[in-house]
Chains A and B, each alone.
Chain A
Amino acid sequence: MKADNQSVSEQTHQLIEFLDKNEAILKEIDEGVIVFDLDGRAAIANPSAARLLERSVREIMGCEIVALAGEEVKVDGHEQILNLRRGDKTLLVNLVPICDAWGQRICTVAVFHNLLQEAELDRARDDFVSLASHELRTPLSAVLGYIDMLKEDVYGPLTSRQRRAVERAAANTEQLVSLINNLLDQAQMQAGGLTLNYVPFSPVKLVDGVQTVMTLAARRKGLNLTTSIADDVPAILLGDFQRLRQIVANLLDNAVKFTDSGTVHVGIYKPDVHHWAVEVSDTGCGIPPEARRDIFAPFRQADDPMKRKYRGAGLGLSIVRQLVDRMEGEIKLESEVGLGSTFTVVLPLALGGVEGVSSGDGGESICSQESSL
């Protein structure tokens, strides 16, 4: 059953009256809001709309959208999205019909967003994350370095009590490093909107970089950290090196964290002609089947008892999943409780001409392949 026109215009009138009386609702919001009645004329406008359109509220009232947008736009029963230039501003306009319970349109609401302002905010957020990243990592690096030097007797031999204290400081600092790395990665992804930047890179350097950084934590736990790159992997691959480094570092960090004895291995190989893969395997505690579904969700770890034993924000694998999805890759998990886990990230090879540059010098490894000690 349809409402007749009389009751529709009554409803429109009621809505406009309600908004008029309760002007505080619209007054404070940053988006510009204009309500157009059934004749297509502005009946309500908030101060943000006036500011964005560079007119007074009084000037806007009664105008049709065409007069305001300066383009051939008609308010009709459809939702519309428009881009509007206003001086140095770019406005995004959402036109949304508001309907009554019978689906009859009673008015149209136009919401104006200032795109330039949002871009500026994004840039400011990027700059802040970059600054915070630098300001956190630099002193943390010094702390880690000095603790490590004490541990290595650079400042003379330690008594056993001193050594225990330094070991504690080292273990806590490493936790902090892992946490800060994850939080910064997450913040960076949110700020940068996850734009990928593909560059030619050497898989050898990818493995060397993360291996060098993770060797310390692995050695502290008495673990073997081994690496391999299959012969048929091109010397130069195409990918976002920085993000790939994050993926491998996070998987490796995770593997070392959940492994108490044995080996952690990083391998790069070609599962088929169209893909390359990086796998990180460990001889750790394994992940029970019921926990596998949630393991890539943020702030999760496999289960509660483990949570107490292994610290961390539970962000690492969620970051990996987000990055791999963005790269149109796939992440697989094989695991057996008590025996260990293997995470495999499979990524597309091609994206043009990779094989063509594969003859180039990818660089030889400057890390020794075994790094237990």
Chain B
Amino acid sequence: MSDLLALVVEDHVDSAIIFSEAVKRAGFDVETIRDGAVALERLAAVEPDIVILDLNLPHVSGMDILRQIRSDPRLANTRVVVVTAHDEMVNSIQDQADLVLIKPVAFSQIRKLAADIGALIQ
């Protein structure tokens, strides 16, 4: 029923559950993906409004996914929020991501952020 689509790309099971629930409650349809290669496949098919992206992923890194999103004109309006536990990675991704959050990140932080983005889009 909602026109807003979010991809949660996160291999840590609990984080994936929490972030997915948060964006869902902010009014997004959610697809949860735990593998980098699968995420790239999905990104070739859909145009999500927001991607919650972990960096440490199996098969294809979050870094490569971010680069792919930024080089695809079809995804020019996709907002990418990187959520990582590796704060030493911040400097190399901050210019490409719309926002970088360092774990621990709470459920309501993601929900509020997603709601803000949703409001900005509509």
Contact = CB atoms under 8 A, between A and B. Distances in A.
Interface of A: 130, 133-134, 137-146, 148-149, 151-152, 154, 177, 184, 188, 197, 199-202, 205, 208-209, 212-213, 215-216, 240-242, 245-246, 363, 366-368, 371
Nearest to B113: A212
Interface stretch (B27-35, B39-47, B90-98): B90-98
Interface magnitude class on chain B: 35 or more
B95, B111, B120: most-surrounded residue (chain A CB, <10 A): B95
B103 interface: yes
Main secondary structure of the interface of B (DSSP, over half): helix
Nearest to A198: B91
Contact of B85 (A133, A149, A368): A133
In the A-B complex, list the 9 residue pairs whose CB atoms are closest, starting with the nearest: A145-B18, A141-B104, A142-B14, A137-B85, A141-B103, A148-B107, A242-B90, A137-B103, A134-B85
A145 B104 CA distance: 8
Given A134-B85, A146-B18, A213-B109, A205 B103 contact: no
A142 B101 contact: no
A141 B105 contact: yes
Contacts of A208: 99
A141 B15 contact: yes
A209 B101 CA distance: 6
A366 B98 contact: yes
Given A208-B99, A242-B91, A366-B99, A216 B113 contact: no
A137 B104 contact: yes
Contacts of A241: 90-91, 94
Given A133-B86, A142-B12, A366-B99, 7 more contacts: A133-B87, A138-B12, A141-B18, A145-B14, A199-B94, A212-B113, A366-B117
B109 to A, nearest CB: 5
20 contacts: A134-B86, A137-B85, A141-B15, A141-B104, A142-B14, A142-B18, A143-B104, A145-B107, A146-B18, A149-B107, A200-B95, A201-B95, A205-B99, A205-B100, A212-B113, A216-B109, A242-B88, A245-B90, A366-B99, A368-B116
